[in-house]
Chains A and B, each alone.
Chain A
Amino acid sequence: MAERIVIDARGSFCPGPLMELIARLKFGAVGEEFEVLSTDKGSASDIPEWVRKVGHELLGTREEAGVWHIALRKTK
């Protein structure tokens, strides 16, 4: 399996974790997996909501020592 692409958006106020994810997905291939690291607790709801709305596949969300890890697969 290809390595999961980690987007380390910890401490990113602008453009922020969701916008950073949207940007990176543009340059990724269908089927690739991404994992966003965020210190903004809003990401735990914002990112899954957007992923579902657009139709990518959410693989999981977990919190570890104040860092949210949101994993997904690009589907289109």
Chain B
Amino acid sequence: MKIVIVGGGMGGTILANNLARRIAPEIRSGKVQLVMLTASEKHMYQPGLLYLALGRMTPDELYRDQASLLEPGIELHVDPVEAFELDQNRIKTKGGKTHGYDILVIATGSRPAPEMIPGLAENAETFYTEQTALKMFKRLQAFQGGRVVIAVGVPHKCPMAPLEITFMLHDYFKDRGIRDKVQLHYTYPIGRIHSLEPVAKWATPEFDRLGITYETLFNLKSVDGASRVVKSEEGTEAKYDLLITIPAHKGMEVLEKNKLGAGGFLPTHKTHLTMEGRSNVYVIGDTTNIPISKAGSTAHYQAETLGENLAAIVKLGSPVREHDGKVFCFIETGKDTATYAMFNYSNPPDPKPPTKAVHWFKMAYNKLYWTTARGLL
């Protein structure tokens, strides 16, 4: 049996390691071949970009060699896929190779797409790539005061990022002694300041206490860099001196080119994690169109379910459990406090008051992540 995982991000890597450990005997005996195809020889810890933009992590802390993270027995090819020929159970790579498969997992993630909004890429700072996070860091260092607007595109990776960057900017400017010269103005696409109602209920009075103004039902339409105005679909405008965006995301271009799903997001069964209409193609992480947070922890828990199920298919001939939609997100609420939100398809979150202990656990997790990627934690 040949299992091919496309994508070496958080979901693909955790899955590969989890599965390789479960089916080590079958890999050793040659009964199963486990292949990973990825676009980069480096693996990035993406949540670290938030800290990079604020000068609290450095680029070298974000990367490990992909090969160093993988269990023995996983066949790694740094060779991105260009064509998905699902009717023929095969894929073709940029390097000219063709891989047949019995089971395919697509975990190619998502990418920021600020170009979807006219004027946004040219005029806004963001922290979703190393390059843009470093640019934002330098822009923040040079900023001496004025109106900072946070504008949020949809869909976006990491639903906590809009709140986290706002709280962290408050502390950042306070530490520099210029908070009184900065007006922080937060905008959000729906009718409250966060998609999770209990989180919004907690964060709204916090914004009031910290003097952060906010506007809801604000969906990015365009940015006029000359007059420094951001316009919303709802017909309102916000003036800025510094515009910070959580940009809308798309799935990978190769999936759009292969017409596998609108916006590069693949139609996926929420509990089986199969691609709609395909019994031997699975999708995890940001790549799915499941109405769930696009976040590392979503990919992590999906990978664990799928690892168990694929191992069961190898050993028993069928999967053993349905995915419950678990998500666990840390929420940084400043430079030294944090809380978290944990929920699944059936149970809503119940965030607790922020503490320093949760913040320090998040700091520790920024290092512990490498054990998660290895499928250990």
Q: Known: A19-B189, A26-B116, A46-B190. Is A11-B346 also a contact (CB below 8 A)?
A: yes
Beyond A7-B291, A23-B154, A26-B155, 16 additional contacts (C-beta under 8 Å) are: A11-B345, A11-B346, A14-B196, A14-B343, A14-B349, A15-B159, A16-B291, A18-B189, A18-B190, A20-B155, A27-B265, A42-B197, A46-B190, A53-B235, A54-B219, A54-B234
Specify the main secondary structure of chain B where it touches its partner: loop
How many angstroms from the CA of A12 to the CA of B290 in the assembled complex?
Answer: 9
B61 to chain A, nearest CB (A): 28
Is there a chain A Cβ closer than 8 Å to B80's Cβ?
Answer: no
Collect the chain A residues with CB atoms within 8 Å of residue B289's CB. 24
Q: Is the CB of A12 within 8 A of B292?
A: yes
Is there a chain A Cβ closer than 8 Å to B1's Cβ?
Answer: no
How many angstroms from the CA of A63 to the CA of B154 in the assembled complex?
Answer: 27
Complex partner residue of B189 from A11, A22, A24, CB under 8 angstroms = A22
Collect the chain A residues with CB atoms within 8 Å of residue B345's CB. 11
A residues whose Cβ falls under 8 Å from a Cβ of B: 7-9, 11-20, 22-24, 26-28, 42, 46, 49-50, 53-54
Is there a chain A Cβ closer than 8 Å to B39's Cβ?
Answer: no
Proximity bits, B119-158, A CB within 8 Å = 1, else 0: 0000000000000000000000000000000000011000
The number of residues on chain B lying at the interface, defined by a beta carbon within 8 Å of a beta carbon of chain A, is: 32
Collect the chain A residues with CB atoms within 8 Å of residue B348's CB. 13
A-B contact pairs, 26 of them (CB 8 A): A8-B270, A9-B291, A11-B325, A11-B345, A13-B196, A13-B349, A14-B196, A14-B292, A14-B327, A14-B341, A15-B155, A15-B292, A15-B293, A16-B195, A16-B291, A18-B189, A20-B155, A24-B262, A28-B262, A42-B197, A49-B191, A50-B190, A50-B217, A53-B217, A54-B219, A54-B233
The 8 closest A-B pairs by CB, nearest first: A27-B263, A12-B291, A23-B155, A27-B262, A11-B345, A20-B291, A9-B291, A16-B195
Collect the chain B residues with CB atoms within 8 Å of residue A22's CB. 154, 189-190, 219
Collect the chain A residues with CB atoms within 8 Å of residue B195's CB. 13-16, 19
Q: Known: A11-B325, A13-B348. Is A46-B191 also a contact (CB below 8 A)?
A: yes
Is there a chain A Cβ closer than 8 Å to B248's Cβ?
Answer: yes
Complex partner residue of B155 from A19, A46, A49, A50, CB under 8 angstroms = A19
Collect the chain B residues with CB atoms within 8 Å of residue A7's CB. 291
Collect the chain B residues with CB atoms within 8 Å of residue A28's CB. 262
How many angstroms from the CA of A26 to the CA of B292 in the assembled complex?
Answer: 17
Complex partner residue of A53 from B116, B234, B263, B343, CB under 8 angstroms = B234
A7 to chain B, nearest CB (A): 7
How many angstroms from the CA of A16 to the CA of B265 in the assembled complex?
Answer: 17
Proximity bits, B322-352, A CB within 8 Å = 1, else 0: 0001010000000000000101011011000
Whose C-beta in chain A lies nearest to the C-beta of B155? A23
A25 to chain B, nearest CB (A): 9
B106 to chain A, nearest CB (A): 17
